[in-house]
Structure 1
């Protein structure tokens, strides 16, 4: 992973410094950002920010998949060929949702 971007420096690191957090002379082994200490906790603000963004993006994808699944469930076709196709698509969406759940829950 790369070091902090200009956006992350402006939106994550600078506000943290202004809030009274202490920038340490150590760096994150994962992204190279300076580590910070605040309220007795040492952390990498960039990795935390990136993880929070990743979870938000994942949640957005998950919500869209659930909406599509509901849409498909509410519009089942009458003919058997169309119904089978519909159900295969629904099954794939459920598989993807289950993978997301495992990633998020660490199962």
Structure 2
């Protein structure tokens, strides 16, 4: 991972400094950003910001998968062969949703 981007400096680090958080003389072993302390908690604001962004992207993908699943469930065909394809697609979507949720649990 790389150090903080210009966007992260503007949107994460600067507001944190203005809020009274203390920038420490230690750096994050993952991204190289300065560590901060606020309310007795030492943390890397850049890694927290990036984790939040990843979660938002994963949530967006999950929502789109759920929409597609509902669409497929609402239009089940009567033809058996087409129905089998529908159900197979639904099963794959459910597996993807499950995998996204497992990834969320790991973070």
Normalising by structure 2, we get a TM-score of: 0.96
* Superposition deviation, residue 81 in structure 1: 1.3
User: What runs of 5+ residues in structure 2 fail to find an aligned partner?
Assistant: none
Whole-Å Cα distance in 1 between the matches of residues 20 and 10 of structure 2? 16
RMSD: 0.7
1:15-63 C-alpha deviation (Å, 9 max, x unpaired): 0011111100000000000000011100000000000111111111101
Question: How many residues align structurally?
Answer: 106
Q: For 1:1-107, list aligned pairs within 5 A.
A: 1-106=1-106
Whole-Å Cα distance in 2 between the matches of residues 40 and 98 of structure 1? 36
User: What runs of 5+ residues in structure 1 fail to find an aligned partner?
Assistant: none
Following TM superposition, where does structure 1 have runs of at least 4 consecutive aligned residues deviating by more than 6 angstroms?
none
